[in-house]
Amino acid sequence: MVLLHGGSPKGAELIAAKWADNRKVPQVAFKPDWTKHAKAAPFKRNDASCERSCSAIRETGRRASRGGLRCRIVDDLLAGLPAHDAERLRLVTSLATATRVVVLDGGITNRNYRVCTPTRDYVVRLSDPESSLLSIDRDNEYLNSMAAAMSGAGAPVAQFVPGAGVLVVEWIEGRTFTPQDVADPRNLPRIADACRVLHSGPAFASDFDMFELQRRYLDIVRERGYRLPPRYDEFEPQVARMRRAMSVLPEPTVPCNNDLLAANIIDDGSRLWLIDYEYSGNNEASFELGNIWSESTLDDDLLEPLVTSYWGAPSSAKVARARLWALISKYGWTLWAAIQQEMSPLDFDYWTWGMEKYERAVEEFDGPDLAVWLDDAARS
């Protein structure tokens, strides 16, 4: 919409101009040129206004013709994709100028696409309604992604379609980390720096507590009769002890990603970006560090340098706290895998993925060091 008017400083034209200002409607003022046209000025003004309107109508017709061609191009771009995905991809505004749509592999919760345009590329993340069973709040994910972008740690958010499971962020050109990259001692300070950038940013719209999440997951598994790993309930007393010990001197919460597996870290050559804020929420920094260490299955001797790089000084208490968070992380994500094994439409062996975490957790529950970590964490 464009408002054409005579530019009068009073009357109906002034009211119309203010209306357009308030609604961000473009406007073009055609003021009479009394010096050039004398008494004919109002009529010349009307002629100019009419010509501008006719030109706009002609341009609209041309755009409609081009629009029909563009629709056919979009159809070609989406050909061969699952119908439900194609339907939601049509909601993405950047698709209007897209030259290519590429399926991105690697996601174990959502389906991801790269939309390429002449000016920049985007990542479109399509989620299913069933993901709410995993305690994912898509509205909070959007708000937290915006906050992460404001902090400088996360990718800029381009679009969010509430209720449709569509989130669009700008593509970050770089190399996706692998567990081997996370295990490289040279990268541990860089990872700690990226976490500090995120943790120093605006507070998130939601909180994250792995103890609470583990309980919710366990209730779902029991209520639905899903498969539970052997001996799982045996470790509930140890979990209760961990929670008590860690509540003695809790850390202040900061905005955390809470799911920094290696694939959620991107190296653009000069800095690291942290992506994917599905499980984000305000949490202890020590959870972030312990979860990073756990998700990439790092050697024991790499946790201390990661923690020291983050806090700026060695601390056995901080290492113990990160270690305990890593343990409850493995214990909780095991149930995430049990739920996904039953409900996810993706072709992925969630059970094996979860059991690998669970077996490492069992070793730590049964091992001799848990009591030491509990004592050290309570002195932090």
Residue 361: what pLDDT?
97
**pLDDT tens column, 203-244:** 999 999 999 999 999 999 999 999 999 999 999 999 999 999
35 plus 84 within the same structural domain: no
Residue 91, domain CATH: 3.30.200.20
Output the pLDDT for position 51: 58
List, for residues 47-105, the tens digit of each pLDDT value.
565 555 545 444 444 444 444 545 666 778 888 888 989 999 999 999 889 999 999 98
User: Are residues 200 and 128 both part of a single domain?
Assistant: no
pLDDT at 91: 93
180 C-beta neighbours (distance < 10 Å), count: 10
CB 158 within 8 Å of CB 165: no
Q: CA–CA separation, 238 vs 371, rounded Å?
A: 10
DSSP string across 27-47: EEE----HHHHGGGHHHHHHH
Q: Is 163 left (phi over 0), alpha (psi -120 to 50) or beta?
A: left
**Residue at which a domain ends, from 152, 170, 188:** 170
Asked if residue 31 lies in contact with residue 45, where contact means CB atoms within 8 angstroms, the answer is yes
Starting at the earlier edge strand, list the strands of the sheet with 175-176: 175-176, 265-267, 272-274
Q: What is the pLDDT of residue 128?
A: 78
Looking at the fold, whether 154 and 187 belong to one and the same domain comes out as no
223 & 345 share domain: yes
Q: What number of residues does the chain have?
A: 380
Residues of the chain falling short of pLDDT 50: 54, 56-67, 69
- Tell me, yes or no, whether 320 and 352 share the same domain: yes
pLDDT for the residue 28: 63
Which H helix or E strand runs over 122?
strand 121-126
DSSP H or E run through 267? strand 265-267
Residue where one domain finishes, among candidates 12, 46, 74: 74
**Same domain for 229 and 335:** yes
Q: Which domain CATH number covers 205?
A: 3.90.1200.10
Measured distance CA(14)–CA(315) in Å, rounded: 68
Q: Which domain holds residue 241?
A: 175-378
Measured CA to CA, the distance from residue 228 to residue 221 in angstroms comes to 7
